[in-house]
Structure 1
């Protein structure tokens, strides 16, 4: 008799390189990592994205999640990895040649994304995902701690109302107020992968 093993997919975590040092956001990042790891999801993230990304990765690893850190080669060439290896928490480190290459690798690995509060780079990644088409289209969960994304989503609603954005693009965004709500949304928007049967 064959047993089919269901494997939960990898989730891309979006956060800024200059992540806020605020304890509040660090705690949210830690909770996101813990929730994803405890729920059985893998994580792919930019291994050079600072305290928020590192907090997610460390918590996810502690919870048993497979974590893939993607990092540009220049970070290693500049000696930053050797200088502070503890700053790069990852079960697997994937080295790419360029920063755009980092985004492409994470995009190729992730079934969907979770976005932490962040600045230009985070918002840019969200908008890029909304502009994608066909099989490349993936939903994004916004962790809306302290209504951080309220102004952003309100502006996008106005874009839809004014005819500058399609409703289907906006519908790719799923807002949660607490990290604990992430698994529920993931269950609705992401299908588990089926691994090879075991006899």
Structure 2
């Protein structure tokens, strides 16, 4: 994995562990020689990921929508900063530039990015690993919900393993490196659907 898209919140929670986590993830990825592709912002967890990676000498590629770039939240310290027309183009650029996806704690935008990465993996738009860093148990309920969707039958058995979750970054990266792509819906026969 040469580059990973990192999805996370642009907010700064009151609990400092979240910002520390984001900074540590950026630092660790840079130390491993893995470039960061992220939302291009300088605030919250986004800014902390970028700062951690940049301070460690890593590559940081920001992708920010025009509407946010003009509101002084864009991080012009990035190695490269792309300004795109909107969120769909932003997520497409994340996919085009990355070899996988890591989701840190975040809110609605982070969930949008995670679920689209999973949906595109199911369909076959990409075959990259989709990782969820479940630090501090933040995503316990989401992991349970994803399992429930599979148990009920809304997620095909072949796709149950798309979401890779771990509590620490080293464990998550190990799972992502070992990931074997599944059979996407585009290549399944009607009787398998």
Task: Tell me by how many angstroms 1:108 deviates.
Answer: 1.1
**Within 1, Cα distance between the matches of 2:157 and 2:77?**
38
State the match for 2:34 in structure 1.
41
CA deviations over 1:166-190 (Å, ceiling 9, x no partner): 2333311111211233442343239
RMSD: 2.1
Report the Cα offset of residue 23 of structure 1: 0.6
8 Å CA contact retained: 2:37, 2:61: yes
Whether the 8 Å contact between 1:18 and 1:49 is mirrored in structure 2 is no
Specify the structure having the higher radius of gyration (Cα): 1
2:150 to 146, 156, 160: 160
Q: TM-score, normalised by structure 2?
A: 0.82
Contact 2:165 2:172 in 1 (8 A): no
TM-score, normalised with respect to structure 1? 0.80
CA contact (8 A) 1:47 1:89 kept: no
Q: Is the 8 A contact 1:32 1:56 kept in 2?
A: yes
Gaps of 5+ in 1: 1-7, 191-199
Distance (Å, rounded) in 2 between the aligned partners of 1:129 and 1:76: 23
Q: Quick check: 1:136 aligned with 2:136?
A: no
Aligned residues: 178
Mark the runs of 5 or more structure 2 residues left unpaired by the alignment. Answer: 181-193
Alignment pair present for 1:59 and 2:52: yes
